[in-house]
Structure 1
Amino acid sequence: MNNLIQNYNIILKELTNTCKHITTTKQIRLPKMSDLELVALNVTAEYMSINSELQLFRCISGTDLDGKIERSVYNKRKRKLLPYIEKIRETLSNNFSDFTDVFIVDSTPIEICKISRANRSAICATDEIKPSFGYCAAQKSRYFGYKLHAVCDKNGIFHSFDFSPANVHDVNYLNDIKENFQNCLLIGDRGYISKEIQMDLFNYSRINLSVPMRKNQHNFVEFSRTKSKIRKRIETNISQLCGQFTINTNFAKTFQGLATRIVSKITSFTMIQYLNFFVFKRSLNKLKINLC
């Protein structure tokens, strides 16, 4: 992953082939770097774990991309292209939509600052969706920020995700996804136990929600080992987002900036899966293999 320009060219070629039909806002003066080229550079930087824009522009210095765009303009345009980046991600993930009808739902904390600084932090303080205090049962710790809810299929492709303040319970996200899925099996953890929502999902979209029971529940039944193994796929995905894609490293000051960073990372994640499967014909989830 040490050759940014070669990786960029590979990603740009595939984005041009698959996403050139997606339109963006018309510009009076055509920029030197098109919107699709900007997204390709952004996706490449996320794949190569380049979080700092300063470092990114050091890497492209002396290449064909040098002088095409200024650093401040790159940042502003990237934030404005958030809906465009999300459409690209949806287009890529839709190529995998017919492969399975088994999906997994989970959430992960998005910490914006340490708890000791939370009361005086100005990050996202003026946005409509404000950060809050929350508790992560998996890590057994409190944090300040947001929560990322996500649904991926059993092969590891993200098909839906959303953000909420950290104090919003996981089960509330299920009300939002019933419009996007139907006639499928949805596997979750104990945070999604709710008979009412389970019945609503089945009656509305024929979604069969399967979650492990608590041991103190009546008529306790052991959770299937097969389903437990499938559910680990999303845990691995989240671990890869935290590791290679450094999703917990936050440099944003506004919610739009934070959302753009996370959407870019998930889009990059999906882009590499797409290249692995359709272009290089290799294992789908080997994300650390060189593209060139």
Structure 2
Amino acid sequence: LLTVSARKTSTLTLIKAIVPHKRCTTCGYKLHAICSIEGVFSDFDLTKASVHDIHYLKDVKLSHQNCVLLADKGYLSRNYQLDLFESNHIQMEVPMRMNQYDYKKQDFIFRKFRKRIETLFSQLCDQFMIRRNYAKSFDGFKNRILSKIMALTMIQLINKLNNRNINNLKTCID
């Protein structure tokens, strides 16, 4: 989950939302993304900042099946997990909260892959400045987000073709 925001203008309506883990309110949109364990985006969606993360699973249910999704704690809902598994054989691996009843630490391999995904989002924020967006319309906003994700994917492709680590984004292109 990544909250991106845009400058408030008359043609771009922003939604105010409370972000409990950051203890603040934000105006903007959320970027929900699905990527491979290597860190390549396969699917993403923009929602209002006020929409709960769990509602994105309705879109996932329509487009994916027979897979394992590593999700963050915002997707922690046994009912949704059971529904996804029964309907599309999608297994959700969500780390438990430490104060949760019957707390079990998530397996190392899942923590390792989650770290790779979190690093990818950090690269989007730091190197591509995805949170800084001064679009004047929602279409412009979407296009800027799309172009930043596409640039990231193109760098990954170039790195793969040159037999380099695909997620080393600060490399010289030969």
Superposition TM-score, scaled by structure 2 size: 0.92
Is 1:153 the equivalent of 2:47?
Answer: no
Larger radius of gyration: 1
**1:291 matched residue in structure 2:** 173
Whether the aligned pair in 2 keeps the contact of 1:175 and 1:197 (CA below 8 Å) is no
CA deviation map 1:16-49 (0-9, x unaligned): xxxxxxxxxxxxxxxxxxxxxxxxxxxxxxxxxx
**2:60 matched residue in structure 1:** 177
Shift of 1:245: 1.0
Which aligned segments of 4 or more residues in structure 1 are displaced greater than 4 angstroms? Answer: none
CA distance in 2, matches of 1:109, 1:202: 27
Unaligned stretches of 5+ residues in structure 2: none
Is 1:242 the equivalent of 2:130?
Answer: no
CA distance in 2, matches of 1:180, 1:274: 24
* Paired-residue identity, %: 41
**2:10 matched residue in structure 1:** 122
What is the identity, as a one-letter code, of the residue corresponding to 2:146? Answer: V
Is 1:142 the equivalent of 2:30?
Answer: no
Is 1:109 the equivalent of 2:20?
Answer: no
**2:149 matched residue in structure 1:** 266
What is the identity, as a one-letter code, of the residue corresponding to 1:112? Answer: A
CA distance in 1, matches of 2:156, 2:21: 26
Stretch deviating more after TM superposition (248-257 or 219-228): 219-228
What is the identity, as a one-letter code, of the residue corresponding to 1:151? Answer: I
Q: Any residues of structure 2 matched to 1:82-231 within 5 Å, and which? A: 107-113=1-7, 121-125=9-13, 131-231=14-114
CA distance in 1, matches of 2:11, 2:21: 25
What is the identity, as a one-letter code, of the residue corresponding to 1:285? Answer: N
Counterparts in 2 of 1:140 and 1:235: CA distance versus 1, 3 Å = farther
**1:282 matched residue in structure 2:** 164
Counterparts in 2 of 1:138 and 1:229: CA distance versus 1, 3 Å = farther
Superposition TM-score, scaled by structure 1 size: 0.56
CA deviation map 1:168-191 (0-9, x unaligned): 001111111122222111111211
Shift of 1:235: 1.2
Structure having the larger proportion of residues in helix: 1
What is the identity, as a one-letter code, of the residue corresponding to 2:169? Answer: L
Shift of 1:152: 0.9
Whether the aligned pair in 2 keeps the contact of 1:109 and 1:136 (CA below 8 Å) is no
CA deviation map 1:141-171 (0-9, x unaligned): 3211111111111100011100111010011
Shift of 1:247: 0.7
Unaligned stretches of 5+ residues in structure 1: 1-106, 126-130
CA distance in 1, matches of 2:23, 2:102: 28
Secondary structure in 2 aligned to 1:214? coil
Shift of 1:122: 2.1
